[in-house]
A and B are shown apart, each in its own frame.
Chain A
Amino acid sequence: MTVKIEVRKPAEYAVARPPIWCPGCGDYGILDALRRALAELGIPNERVVVVSGIGCSSQLPHFMKTYGIHGIHGRALPIATGVKLANPDLTVIVMGGDGDGYAIGTNHLVHAARRNVDITYIVSNNQVYGLTTGQMAPTTLKGVKTRSTPYGSVDDPVNPLALAIASGATYVARGFSGDPAHLAGLIKGGIEHRGFALIDVLSPCVTFNRVNTYDWFKARVYKLEESGHDPADLMQAMAKALEWPTMDPYGRIPIGVIYRAERPTYDGEMSRLLKGASPAASPIDNALSEGPTILKSFI
């Protein structure tokens, strides 16, 4: 028996309007990879919801022919959690920058990860605040000069991948927007994965970050799948997550799937509590029709 798979093209997820990013921005690579991943999976446009926060990369939903919310700074994950819980049949993608996800929204990253809600979170990590014209980001390497750190940053950068693993994320990967084909594979894997997936993407800002450029990354990245890494091994995964920038901010940078595990999802557990019902599919008048009976329990 042959199964007919509908072949879709990345362009089917595109709108006529071109992105408004600076020429050469790493976010083009992410957009390209996301469309590719969705096309390969053949998910109908109306079943995809792309949620973002605020920042250059959070403009991404506007270039997708899907549903989406371009929300407020740092709150994309809770919005997406609400979407997914209301209608678990939807494919929910979250897009944001490092400021959105690792500074103002860090709290939500930790909790979305521990809940293991089935959404795919792509973070465009350019190590600088772009839309606000070049301030320090939570991922800016120590010593780097930005408009808000004219004497060099005295803050150490966060390690989002280690944070995500420690928080309970079940799919943790790093991609490079300079390699959209590889990144598309990571995003596809994240969407297919049942649970919370974080894909941190090294995405150079060609306007405000003159340190972490395409060439800077090209000289440092190496692929985990070619290095015998076992993403199912939690301790190995943690070691790989800590490799950069924690152990050596100027050392080699692993890209690929760092950690992968199976664990019940939040939406799955919620569905169990709801005895298989979903909020979106549940009759709107089911409580009302039992109203008199419900009130009897207050006598």
Chain B
Amino acid sequence: MDLTIRLSGAQGEGVESTGRTVASTFSRMGLHVFTFRMYGSIIKGNPTMFYQVRVSDRKIHSHGPWNSVDVLIALNKNAFAAYVDMARVTIFDSADVKREGRGLIGVPLTEYALKAGNRIMKNTVAVGALYALLGIDLSVLEGLLRREFGDKGEKIVEQNMAAAELGYKHVEEHYGGLNVSFPRDSPKPLISGAEALALGALFSGMKFYAAYPMTPASPLLHFLAEWGPRYGVSVVQAEDEIAAINMAIGASYAGVRAATGTSGGGFSLMHEAVGLAAMIEVPVVVFLGQRGGPSTGLPTETEQADLLMSINPSQGDFPIVVLAPTTIEDGLYTVARAFNIAEKYQVPVMVLTDLYFNESMTTIGEVDWSRFKVERGDLVTSPVVWEEYKRYRLTETGVSPRTVPGVPGGMHIATSDEHDEKGDVITDRHEPKVRRVMMEKRMRKLDYIRREMEPPSLYGSPGARTTLVVWGSTAMPVMDFVDTSQGYNALIFRDLYPLPRDQALKALSEAARKIAVEVNYTGQLVALLRRELGVDIGERVVKYWGEPFSVDELGELMRKRVEAVVVT
């Protein structure tokens, strides 16, 4: 069983919250769910935004097909016109569109909503109709409505239930249901990518988060602002992104795990401070949720075009780490690693996701709590002898014992200027020897971090004719494609910088035909692999028009590509 339901309507009319209700229906039934929304940078308007819910009885990783859906719920006539041809079955307001035919289920949505008490409830009528179509008992919905509207009073819940019943009965009487059955399992948590990152941060002991609102990173701020204070987390909405990252660096210097989050534009403003963190060797985690660029670009649409920027922000050479979680579940654990690496090596760590990752929701399985082991590295919390203490002591690994304010004897000045082992500025004179050893000390850390980096993971069976080379969230649709196709596997990069060279080279050399699949124009992973490994992935499939890849589209693209090569 694998169903895709697309809800479409105008922005500001509750399409998303209705979509979430549908998604929660399935997650509460213990099914596997994945959701995706396509919307515009407008608060009210855009009549054909959509929210897609995919449900399956087996593990799924993406939103499913792009060009066909099983059920369309069209909440207005524009939505009907836009997507009716790709839907097996369409539920629509019979007052909007006068059409009959196979798969067309006209329901007087507005009329029923008014009958139940308020025209705003026409979405609920449609959900009731969907329940009848899929043969799901309305009692599941009641619990969800109570969660959504409970604080608005029992009357609202009752009115919504009445609205749903009207839609349900209408379909039951006039159309009947689809031939589909849902196996039941225990309810599963349903979380968005942004929530996975934020939860991962809470579980990792992050105690400070500062950010400036920006799509698609804002959901982290919203979530942490609500949940953080319950666990001693200070959450600040800063005056700009420059302030946000500098606050995080200050908090980290003071001894707590700290992070900031933004998108490409905000991260552009943060660059100088990333260099500061690397120079003063203060750990900091940056959540970078990419969206379409350049400049304001596509504010509400996805892209993966900030990979190279995340590896090379700010002036000068310095150690930095870039991790791009490949699934929403993986986001939880990647964040735990990000905080550990940041503290163990006293470096900035980027957690690189995108709008598709942050805003999609999925059901997750059992969480492996053992993967949240906190490793704080060489953190000194007991008194030291000031005359002997050297904050930037030269060590084999390049990592020096770090005191934090409050530790007697550990006083030092962390300076953005080049400095000596004690932390004293050396820039009032020419000190090439000190400069050399300090630069080498910082850069040496990369060699040790590299040993902790995980090689790309192979998804699918080894020895497939074609290997799709991907990174970050593109893994999600590609994994689904590999699951449903013959002759393909995927090499998935999460740990992007520093690359574990030997292992990555080995993995790439074992692949027969390699095709890079990325959501950007230039093929930034291809460029990185060429730069770091000297490997050229000759074939690329890219898109840069604000959509993630979809399973059906990948099938089309690969078929064309394979045929084309056969012809030549």
Contacts and interface: CB of A to CB of B under 8 A. Distances in A.
Contacts of B350: none
A282 B229 CA distance: 11
Contact of B246 (A48, A71, A274): A71
A80 B541 CA distance: 47
Interface in B400-437: 404-417, 424-425, 428
B234 A279 contact: yes
Interface stretch (A198-206, A224-232, A288-296): A288-296
A107 B247 CA distance: 14
B225 to A, nearest CB: 9
Contact of A70 (B246, B407, B413): B413
Given A83-B250, A86-B258, A62 B208 contact: no
A110 B415 CA distance: 25
Contacts of A71: 246, 249, 276, 280, 416
A79 B249 contact: yes
A237 interface: no
B251 A279 contact: yes
Nearest to B248: A82
10 contacts: A44-B408, A62-B424, A69-B413, A78-B247, A82-B210, A86-B254, A86-B256, A274-B229, A286-B231, A299-B27
Nearest to B429: A20
A86 B207 contact: yes
Closest 8 CB pairs of A and B: A282-B232, A82-B250, A284-B205, A279-B207, A82-B247, A78-B246, A86-B251, A86-B254
A79 B548 CA distance: 37
B219 interface: no
**Of residues A17, A77, A86, A273, which shows the largest number of chain B Cβ atoms within 10 Å of its Cβ?**
A86
B341 interface: no
Nearest to B243: A78
Contacts of B252: 82, 86
Contacts of B258: 82, 86
A76 B242 CA distance: 11
Contact of B254 (A87, A110, A274): A87
A54 interface: yes
A46 interface: yes
Contacts of A275: 229
A2 B256 CA distance: 38
B536 interface: no
Interface in B228-278: 229, 231-234, 236, 238-240, 242-244, 246-258, 272-273, 275-276
Q: What size tier do the contact residues of chain B reach?
A: 35 or more
A153 interface: no
Interface string A269-286: 010011101111111111
A51 interface: yes
Contact of B424 (A17, A66, A83): A17
Nearest to B372: A288
A298 interface: yes
A225 B386 CA distance: 41
A72 to B, nearest CB: 5
Interface of A: 17, 20, 44-51, 54, 59, 61-62, 64-72, 75, 77-87, 89-90, 107-108, 110-111, 270, 273-275, 277-288, 290-292, 294-296, 298-299
A228 B399 CA distance: 57
B251 to A, nearest CB: 4
Nearest to B275: A72
A23 B36 CA distance: 65
**Of residues A62, A75, A278, which shows the largest number of chain B Cβ atoms within 10 Å of its Cβ?**
A75
Contacts of B28: 299
B190 interface: yes
B215 to A, nearest CB: 22
A287 B202 contact: yes
A75 B246 contact: yes
Nearest to A51: B250
Contacts of B199: 294-295
B405 A90 contact: yes
B108 interface: no
A299 B202 contact: no
B273 A287 contact: no
Nearest to A107: B239
Given A67-B413, A90-B406, A285-B205, 14 more contacts: A46-B411, A47-B406, A66-B411, A70-B416, A80-B250, A82-B258, A84-B250, A85-B251, A86-B208, A279-B251, A282-B207, A287-B203, A295-B199, A299-B187
B202 A294 contact: yes
A206 to B, nearest CB: 18
Contacts of A54: 416
B21 to A, nearest CB: 14
Contacts of A83: 250-251, 253-254, 405
**Of residues B189, B242, B243, B428, which shows the largest number of chain A Cβ atoms within 10 Å of its Cβ?**
B243
A290 B204 CA distance: 12
A48 B413 CA distance: 11
A299 B190 contact: yes
Given A66-B411, A71-B246, A86-B258, A295 B251 contact: no
Given A51-B250, A75-B246, A85-B247, A68 B187 contact: no
A212 B136 CA distance: 82
Nearest to A47: B406
Given A70-B417, A71-B276, A78 B250 contact: yes
Contacts of B411: 45-46, 65-68
B188 interface: yes
Contact of A298 (B191, B238, B243, B409): B191
B480 interface: no
B406 A70 contact: no
Contacts of B424: 17, 62
A89 B234 CA distance: 15
A51 B276 CA distance: 13
B229 A69 contact: no
